[in-house]
Structure formats: structure tokens, C-alpha cells
Structure 1
């Protein structure tokens, strides 16, 4: 099945071979009674350069701030704050309660407010909370700061994931989502290097090294967030870096990327949220999301500890996390490129989810047998499955939600409820279970396998609905009725 491309006439989707955005050089566009030539590849490159880099940097800093507590842990955080392992896990857990609760409201605000205002505000809050985390004096101070970190971070990932869909058609979105999300894996690598260097500041200013990890990374986030006010473009219809004809071309292709125009009221209505809540695909995608997010948070919070417990020093453990994350970032981008090219999401997504399960099987079977290299390889395989799978899952769902408000609500609901996985997985790895961590690895294996099953089920559900719609008699529906049905329209085809 080829990817659907924007067509010049609504309701008539073209195959990739008919109108390939990657290969076509020029499009004829008629605006205001005059015909203009649009260089498609040049216009997309302009969008890429103005949209992707700044949100990628913001997410890199966001994920760096979220996960650096794992680096701080092995540099003495628990001992200096007189915390138990259970209290540390609770600090990880409470983050996700506020993080999940505020994602949907944040995305609805983003739809009404300019991204160039809302996204920087989010990141300024993240930077301030992270900086203050460096001066906490006890368990309760760290716990409260993690609660507020969840509040401030909540809107960034679902906000940017939705923001990308407002610029790119669904057949080209996964590569951009992967480029953006690869910041998470780069943050994992960068976090280890940065923590290794900053920890050498132990004693500077009378502060422990782990405090400087929070303080310096928080200050950096705040400074970049302030500057991002000037770099984030809002939406295509107001983009100053595009010409008037280019804006018209971008808007037309976004409008016509489905089998017919998809329209909804410009005014927010709660029915769009309810449409998302009652949509089967969001809940199946949510189980798939758990299959990769539980392992992701378990790994991001505990990877330095797991590697250290293989017999390495804290400094060696910090550095050994770097090649894992760098490789995962490369695989995520390459996988997304091929997914966009073939116009299918599920085959590679299921492959990556399977890699997570296989990786945990290797880890469990090798743990406790004095073969740290094999355990390290298993962890390597897990991470290299997680980071390509995440943008694949998000893109697949966003491709199949039509209508801006429904897509914004659906993506926030999917990611928000899905991030309760972090609250669970932050308690999977207990200090008393080390160095084998059979309980944690076993639970992660169970979730990853459930993710594979859900992804396969969603694929077959989409195929069944598409086949059913092909047999439907749509002659009684007007074009306006079809458009207002969004992804429930009989002319809408789910991307497989």
C-alpha cells in the first residue's frame, strides 16, 4: 500500500507514484486568478529548517532535565538527602501524576494560543524548577520539586507532536517526529557525558556534584527557552519565512491530504474531546504506548545504576550509556525515513517492539551469570527498539485522527494517560533486587509483549474498517457531511 499524497482535487487521493513530494520539483498553483510555480522540495526544506531544530533542542533539554535524576542518584543524591530507595522511587513516581493530568489541558491551550508563546513558557517553567531542585535539602523538598516538574513539562511533548502535524502531511510526518524525538535518545547520551563532567565540580561553592547537575542544566534550559520566543514559527498561514504562494500550497496540501477535506468548527467544542475519548484506536494505541514507555522510563531512570551494578565504576557507567543512546537515535531516524517511504507504520513499529521484548529476554537469561557483556547487549537491543518505536506509535495515531481539535485532544489523551506508565515503571527497579533486577526486567518484558499484541490488533482493526468502508454506499452523503465526519467518514482510509 503506497502512502497517500495530497492531490489537486479533494476526494481523489493519489498514490506515491502519481505525485511524489520527495521527487516532484515544481507544483503549479493558482491563487488570485494567477498561476505560480512552487518548488516543493525547497519549500519543505525551508519548513524543516524553521520548525524542527528549535523544537528538537527544547525537547532535548526537557528530557535531559527529566532523566538527570538517575545520573544524580549514582553521584550521591540519596546519601546526601538521607533517602531510602523507596523514597527515591516515590520522587520518580509523583512526577507522572501531574505530568499526565496537565497534558490534555495544555494541548487545548496550544490550539488556542500561539506555539511561539506557549512552548517557551512551558520550558521556562521547566528550567526554573530544575534549577531550584539543586538546592533542596531533604526528601520532601525533592518530592515537591518533582511534582512541579511534572506540571511544567506536561505540555511540551504532546504539544510539539501535535504542532508537527500542523505543518506536515501524514505520509511525511514520521521522519520529522523521529528527528524531534531523537532528542530524547541524544539527551540520554548527553546526560551521561554532562553528568560525568559536572560531577567533577563536587565541592565547588560548597555544593555537591549532583546539585550542580540540576543547577547548571536548569539554567541552560531557562536561557534557551527565553531565546526560543524569537525562533518558533506559529502555523503555516502566518509563517513569515514562506511566500504567500508557498503558504497557500502548504495549507492546500494539508487540507487535501485525506480522501476529501476534513473540517471542524474553528471554535472549540467539547464534542471533539469526547470523540477522542470514545475512539477505539486511541485505546489500542495506548496499550502499544505502554509497551514502549514503561521500558523507556525504567531504562532512563535506572540505566546508569544497572550498568554500574554490572561491575563498573560510576564514571564508567555514565560513559557506557552514551553509545546505547547514540545508536538508538540513528536507528530511529533511519526507520522513520523508510516508514515514510513505504507509506506504512505498523511493520517497522511491530519489529521495534519485538526488539524490546527480545532484549529483555536476553537480559533476564544472562543476569546473575557473570556475563556483563551479554546483559549490556540486551540493554542495547532494548533501547534501540524503544526510541524508533515511540515516534512510530505517535505518528501512526496522529495519521489516523482527522480534525485539528480531535487530533490535539486525542494525542494529548494518548500521551497523557500513557505516561502513567512512568509512574509504574519508576517502581519496577528496587534496590534490593540488584544487580539482577529480575522483577523490573520481567515486568518490562510483560508490557513490551502486550505492546506487540496491541499493535498487531490495531493493524488488523484498521484493515477491517478500511475494507468495510470500501464496500459502503456513500452516494447519500454530501461532500460537507463527509468532511465533518473527519476520520469517521466512509471516504477516510486509515494508514496501516
Structure 2
């Protein structure tokens, strides 16, 4: 579409007072409910000034990103710190034997998976501004409760409840950020909070090491101190978040009215046939979001990646212990940090490239081979070769943590409405955490110290990630070519605006964004 036909937003390169007044009116009109912000092909009807958008984006970054990053950092720490506790007496003190530890981990993932989609729909219903702080406060309380358990039954109960309160955090934050950022901007912003996954592994190891240097914390000793101190920190962050998490652009007091209009209009301008940014619940849109071919395929990639990433988070301290059995506990904890630092770097660098190139699927493909090589090294070596195995952990972390960002960005980029996005991200994350559940049974006590079952399984899953990613890229390109040949006008003839909106990815003008 010729840009001369587009309206201009406030901040356009104009100097006439009259024109400035008109563009402000256009901004307000574009943001209002009831106005379509795209043409039939999904192109925006409003042209945005790049410099003004950049200033707004930086302001949003400053007010939105720090809080969600901190919340997710401690979300993941509180999930994985049981791995740090395991090597300092958690199993012995609670009298766990055989597969009891795996069962404790499994209870978390059962509730986590079951409540994934419902929690994200609740997040949309009550708003992220209330949902995210409330969830954080809840799992902070439950992490603190882990410090006071005395038997396996209590461990089962607390971990099950922890799964419920953490279920909505990953998809909830991804959905929350989609209220603020364009699709091409979202990938890098997702990486800023998803990088908290490897950083949680690194920081969690450092924090656990520091905590274990204490003789006691109140009445708590050894592994109980880890849960107690980290739970209190999380609880305080959750309470503060009630004051710092802004629900959506329309309610942001730290934005001017013109900035609110611009923030709303630029998100709306990417949603084909949409007349509002926050649409009402619609069952058809929920189903379209969940059952999109991209959601299901990317979700399967996330499931396979979850087997590795979640297993690594919980079992890396145990793996390091088998590599360096004579080292002190603090040294073993510290050896878990460097691989996570490498993972944190790639988890930022790859999404940044994706953001700049405005493409995602190719990075799904190139992130898989390092993991395949790493697990092949584990399978092909023995515990008597610690340097090769420790080196393999760096290759695995270099690839695996990229997917946490890229899968949610890819799903979000390939739906239209707010409701479909909430459902799709929830479904995607649910599938990813089924992988986490599988991972809890991949590193088994009888398989130590080589863990050939767990490492062989992960070699298979990373290979499948590569094949699925290549297949999805080829299918998206082929389906886009088919869509170009359709007679879209005749397909839409006689349909109401509501019926057209409910088409979602089945809209004949819709194009997949690889």
C-alpha cells in the first residue's frame, strides 16, 4: 500500500500546529475501540514516526522489563532450588529412597501442566497487573513453606501447590509483554526475561553456595536455609510488584495521553480486521489460537526442548557431582554456574539477531546442532572423562535456552487477536512443561553415574527439534504461496466483521511469519 494513503501519528516530522492537532486526533481515533487499524491485507492504515516510537519503546522498556525479569528469575529459582537442596541432605533428612525424589518433582509438573492454559486465561480475565504479583506472592509463600517440611507427604503437597502458582508465570509474562510490544519487538523483549532461566541456574548456584556458608538462618539449617531465604526474597518481590506492574498501556500513569494512544494504536495496527486491542473472550478465537498448526508444531518443539532444559535445571548439580565427586559441596554448586553463563549469552544474542532480522524459524534450526553434539559427547564418554562431559554441558546450554524465548515469540507472531494469543501462549507453554514432566524421569538413580537413559533420550529429542524446525519452515513458506493464489474477496463475501475476526489464521489474507 502506498504510504501516502496512510495517516500519521503524533511525532511525525511536521511543524505546522494545525497538522499536529490533526495527527493527535488521528492517534486517538486509531486507538479507540470500534476502528479497524489495518486494510484487508493486514497492512497498517497509520504510519508511525520512527523517532517517536523509539522514545516510547525505551520508556516502556524502563518501566515494564525490570519487574518482569526479576519476577521470572525467582520463579525459576524457586522451581529449581530443590536440585541445590538435593546434594546437601534434602533426601536423607526427609527419608527419601529410590524414586521418591522423582515423584516429588513429578507432582510439581502435574499441577503445572494442568493449570497452564486456565491460568493464562485467568491472567487475561483479571489482568496481568493483578495476576503476576499475586502468583509471585503465592509461590514465594510456598517456597518458604518448603523450609519447614518434615516428611515426603508434606513435600508432595507443597510442590503440587507450587506448580499451580507458577503455572501462569511464563505464559503470563509472554502474554503481558504482547500488550506492549509489536511482534518484531517482542522476540528480543521475551529474551530479556527468558534469559532469567539460565541466569537462575547460575545465580541460584551462587546464592545456594553463599547461603550454605551460614551456620544457620533463624532455626533453619543446611538445605532449609536455601528455601527459607529464597522464599522470603520472592515474597517481598511479589508484594512490591503490586505497585510496579502496570496492567496495560491504557492504565499506565507514567505515559502521557498521546503516548497511551500511540502505544495502543501501534499494537492494534498489526491485528488484521481487529477493532480493539483487548477483545472479549471468544471460544472460536481460543480454539483457533490453540489448534493453529504453528502453535501445535512449535509447542511440540518446546516439549522436546523442555525435556532437556527442565532436566538440566534440576539435575545439573547431580551431574556435576558425578564429574567432580571429591570436590566440596560449595565447589560443586559453583561448577554449575559457567555453563549457565554461556546459556545466558546465547539466550540473549540469538533473539537479538532474530529481532534485527525479523525472523525466527531459522534460529530454531541453527540452535539444535550444538545440543546434539553435546549429548552425543555424554553418550560417547564415561564418567572417567570429566573434562569432555563438563565441556558438553556448555554446548547444551549454548542451544537449549534459546527456545524458551523463540517459541513464545513465534507463537505470538502467528496469531491475531489478544484472546487467541493468550490461548496459544498458554497451550505452547503447557506442551513445553509436559517435556519438563518427562525430564523428571529421564535421570534415574539406577542409571548413575553415566545417565545413559537421560542423555540418550535428550540426544533423540534434540535431533527431533532439528527435523521439526526444518519441516515447519518449509511448510510455512509453501502454505504462504498457496494463500497468494486464493480468491480472498470471494471467500470473505457476505461475512460479517465478527465472522471475519473469528477466522484468525484462516483469514485468506493472513500470512505466516517464519
TM-score (normalised: structure 2):
0.88
| 2:281 aligned counterpart, secondary structure | coil
Report matched runs for 1:204-243 at 5 Å.
Answer: 205-243=218-256
Of 321, 336, 340, which aligns to 1:325? 340
Are residues 1:248 and 2:261 paired? yes
Could you tell me which runs of 5 or more consecutive residues in structure 1 were left unpaired when the two chains were aligned: 13-18, 20-24
Are residues 1:379 and 2:393 paired? yes
Of 470, 485, 488, which aligns to 2:503? 485
Partners of 2:26 and 2:216 in 1: how far apart?
Answer: 71
Are residues 1:359 and 2:391 paired? no
1:234-272 CA deviation, whole Å, 9 max, x = no partner? 111222222222222222221122566476983312222
Of 415, 424, 448, which aligns to 1:401? 415
Other-structure match for 1:391: 405
Other-structure match for 1:285: 298
1:258-288 CA deviation, whole Å, 9 max, x = no partner? 5664769833122222223432222211211
Other-structure match for 2:32: none
Report matched runs for 1:1-16 at 5 Å.
Answer: none
Are residues 1:201 and 2:214 paired? yes
Partners of 2:185 and 2:278 in 1: how far apart?
Answer: 26
Partners of 2:473 and 2:501 in 1: how far apart?
Answer: 24
Distance 1:260 1:206, change over 3 A: closer
| 2:423 aligned counterpart, secondary structure | helix
Could you tell me which runs of 5 or more consecutive residues in structure 2 were left unpaired when the two chains were aligned: 15-19, 29-47
Alpha carbons 2:351, 2:402 under 8 Å: kept: yes
Other-structure match for 2:459: 445
TM-score (normalised: structure 1):
0.91
Of 315, 323, 334, which aligns to 1:302? 315
Partners of 2:169 and 2:225 in 1: how far apart?
Answer: 24
Report the RMSD for the aligned CA atoms in angstroms.
Answer: 2.6
| 2:416 aligned counterpart, secondary structure | coil
Other-structure match for 1:15: none
Partners of 1:262 and 1:361 in 2: how far apart?
Answer: 51
Q: CA deviation at 1:32?
A: 2.2
Distance 1:9 1:353, change over 3 A: farther
Alpha carbons 1:75, 1:209 under 8 Å: kept: yes
Partners of 1:47 and 1:137 in 2: how far apart?
Answer: 45
Q: CA deviation at 1:382?
A: 0.6
| 2:244 aligned counterpart, secondary structure | coil
Partners of 1:158 and 1:393 in 2: how far apart?
Answer: 11
1:180-234 CA deviation, whole Å, 9 max, x = no partner? 1111111110110111111223455453310010011001100111011111111
Other-structure match for 2:477: 463
Q: CA deviation at 1:482?
A: 4.8
Partners of 1:418 and 1:8 in 2: how far apart?
Answer: 45
